[in-house]
């Protein structure tokens, strides 16, 4: 990785971290929109997994007291099941197809954000939560962009912003840690990913 590429990658990750800190979500979507422009998809995925997990750890340290623990088990269950499924899909498909699907999913997630998340004020029923968690987990496992379904679900609760952000952080962290363990298991965390992630965390 050249110095120029490293600086561009760190810049993209810094912007993603700012978005995550401001809103409680959006790290994966922002980073995965920008990093594949300067890195391979494999490297981008590895770096985003490491840095988003680290960002969630930092956020968790700040928001831990506000986590609505009793309201998250269904979302957690779906996420825990979904991440390995999404990762398996990623591993089984050709990289060119993955890149096209990633672009399509990013566009879909932006549309979802504007059409569903911002215009729906109804409370989502609790029976939908495992399905939302599963869908979010699959998107996280495959592309690191599992935020919008979780955001729409959690923001439908009449909670203060602090609880919403804390709940999102807790679920994102669990999905991120599972993805890190899968990347470690399959030796898909190259040294360059650790280097870029370390610079971005600073």
For residue range 119-176, list pLDDT tens digits in order: 555 677 888 899 999 988 998 898 888 877 888 888 888 888 889 888 888 998 999 9
Hey, what are 21's tokens? 């800190």
Average pLDDT, the chain: 84
Per-residue pLDDT of 13-42, as tens digits, reads 888 878 877 766 778 888 888 888 888 888
The residue behind tokens 């340290």 is 61
Cβ distance 82 to 136 under 8 Å?
yes
pTM of the predicted structure, to 2 decimals = 0.82
Distance, in Å, from the CA atom of 63 to the CA atom of 164, rounded to the nearest integer, reads: 10
Instruction: Please state, in angstroms and rounded to a whole number, the distance separating the CA atoms of residues 91 and 102.
Output: 14
Asked if 114 and 152 touch (Cβ cutoff 8 Å), the reply is no
Which residues, 6+ apart, have CB-to-CB distance to 114 below 8 Å? none
């Amino acid at each position: 990785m050249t110095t120029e590429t490293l600086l561009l990658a760190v810049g993209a990750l810094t912007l993603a971290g700012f978005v995550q800190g401001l809103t409680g979500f959006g790290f994966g979507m922002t980073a995965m929109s920008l990093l594949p422009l300067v890195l391979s998809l494999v490297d981008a995925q590895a770096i985003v997994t490491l840095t988003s997990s680290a960002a969630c750890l930092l956020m968790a340290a700040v928001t831990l007291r506000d986590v609505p623990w009793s309201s998250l088990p269904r979302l957690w269950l779906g996420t825990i099941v979904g991440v390995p499924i999404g990762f398996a899909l990623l591993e089984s498909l050709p990289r060119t197809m993955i890149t096209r699907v990633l672009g399509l999913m990013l566009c879909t997630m932006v549309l979802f954000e504007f059409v569903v998340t911002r215009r729906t004020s109804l409370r989502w029923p609790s029976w939908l939560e495992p399905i939302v968690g599963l869908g979010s987990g699959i998107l996280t496992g495959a592309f690191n962009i599992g935020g919008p379904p979780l955001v729409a679900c959690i923001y439908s609760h009449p909670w203060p912003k602090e609880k919403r952000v804390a709940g999102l952080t807790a679920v994102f962290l669990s999905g991120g840690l599972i993805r890190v363990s899968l990347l470690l298991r399959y030796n898909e965390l190259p040294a360059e990913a650790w280097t870029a992630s370390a610079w971005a965390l600073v």
